[in-house]
Amino acid sequence: MSTARTRLPAEADALEARFALRLTARLEADAQSLPHDISERLRVARMQALAQARHQAMASKRPQTEAASDISVVGVDVRTGTVALGRMGGPGESVWWSRLGWLVPTLVLALGLSGLGEWESREQIARAAQIDTELLGDDLPPAAYLDEGFGEFLRRPPEVLVPVVAPAEAPSDLLASAGS
């Protein structure tokens, strides 16, 4: 039965240091045998890596100047499709209202949708009332719509449906008969 030996942090650090020393000694020995052009490329790459590491260290130490919540939409040009972003308020100024900027468009949208639903409902009621008025105001009783022969009645041409009325007497004939 093998038991895993736990190392103390000091022992682990010592082992890492010894490994690092042996590794660097080996790399230095092999680096001496490299051609000059390869060693120059390695030197330039090492300098670039150090510069990038310094730049990242400086960027992480630098505090952020503006939070993303401080930036908001200042203007919109619909014709060109551009949006202008800007900072609301000065430094140290309370901008609680800019953080609630989503509230106004949301309320406008909700009220618009509610109004649209109400308008559509009223239009539907008005259309139903118009149909009811036409049905009840027609000479035809509503029970006729249930009759099986009513479909045939509707398929007839309009000339057959309209009764021919005799032409009324001319107004001059009426005056002549009234005078005699």
Q: Tell me: the pLDDT tens digits for 125-146?
A: 999 999 888 877 877 777 777 7
Is the distance from CB of 41 to CB of 31 less than 8 angstroms?
no
On average, the pLDDT of the chain sits at 76
In a domain, 47, yes or no: yes
Tell me if the pTM is above 0.75. no
In a domain, 37, yes or no: yes
Between 32 and 171, residue with greater pLDDT: 32
Pairs from 172-175 (Cβ < 8 Å, separation ≥ 24) = none
Least confident window among 21-35, 70-84, 113-127: 70-84
- The pLDDT score that the predictor gives to residue 67 is 54
In a domain, 19, yes or no: yes
pLDDT surpassing 80 at residue 36:
yes
Residue 22 lies in domain: 13-56
Question: Structurally, how many domains does the chain consist of?
Answer: 1
Residue with tokens 């021919």: 164
Mean pLDDT of 92-101: 63
In a domain, 62, yes or no: no
- The pLDDT score that the predictor gives to residue 21 is 92
- The pLDDT score that the predictor gives to residue 130 is 92
Between 13 and 70, residue with greater pLDDT: 13
In a domain, 78, yes or no: no
pLDDT surpassing 60 at residue 91:
no
Is the distance from CB of 98 to CB of 72 less than 8 angstroms?
yes
- The pLDDT score that the predictor gives to residue 101 is 73
Dist. CA 65–CA 58, nearest whole Å: 14
In a domain, 164, yes or no: no
Is the distance from CB of 87 to CB of 66 less than 8 angstroms?
yes
Mean pLDDT of 112-119: 96
In a domain, 42, yes or no: yes
In a domain, 166, yes or no: no
